[in-house]
């Protein structure tokens, strides 16, 4: 079950960065967001711990909104991010 501010939504783009480390994880996320229009949603899967921490902090710093968060087992998080320009 997704836990978020809004009901689970269908994403406009999906990336899996669970095998990437900083800074590539962030660069790939940024590139994916660049392909979206304002208001569109990116869904990504990343590692728990440092990766989800860093991605969340960086996305918030950039002004985007994390609209849904789902923990997938011990090792992964699935996030949905709405692009805000």
Partner 1 sequence: MGDAKTQPKKTMHITVDHNLDEVVKKKVAVSAEISGKNEKGKIDFHELKSGGFIKQRQKDKFTVRLRCPSGRMEVSKLKQVAESAEKFGGKYVHFTVRQSLEIPYVDYHNFAPLIEELKTVGQDVASCGPRVRVPNACGGCEYNPNGLVDAAKISDAVNVKFFGMRTAHKFKSSFSACPIDCMRTTEADLGMMGAVFPKWDEDKCTGCTICASACTEDAIKAHPETGKPIFTPDNCVYCADCIRACPTFSWTADKTGHNMRVGGRHGRHPLGSTMVARFLTDEEALTAIEATIKWYQKAGEGKGRIRIGEILRQEGQMGSLMEALKTAVGPEKLVKNPEPPTETYVSR
> Contact positions toward partner 1, by CB under 8 A?
3-5, 48-49, 52-53, 56-58, 60-61, 65-67, 69, 71, 77
Q: How far apart are CA 62 and CA 54, in angstroms?
A: 12
Helices 24-34 & 50-61, crossing angle to 10 degrees? 40
Q: How far apart are CA 67 and CA 9, in angstroms?
A: 9
Tell me the closest approach of the beta carbon of residue 59 to partner 1, in angstroms.
Answer: 9
Concerning whether 22 is annotated as a catalytic residue, the answer is yes
Tell me the closest approach of the beta carbon of residue 38 to partner 1, in angstroms.
Answer: 19
Give the active site residue among 6, 16, 19, 22. 22
Q: Could you give the residue numbers annotated as active site?
A: 22
């Amino acid at each position: 079950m997704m836990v978020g501010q809004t009901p689970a939504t269908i994403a406009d783009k999906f990336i899996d960065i669970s095998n990437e480390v900083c800074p590539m994880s962030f660069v790939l996320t940024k590139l994916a967001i660049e392909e979206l229009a304002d208001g569109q949603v990116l869904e990504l899967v990343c590692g728990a711990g440092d990766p989800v921490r860093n991605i969340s902090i960086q996305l918030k710093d950039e002004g985007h909104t994390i609209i849904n968060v789902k923990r997938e087992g011990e090792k992964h998080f699935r996030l949905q991010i709405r692009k805000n320009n």
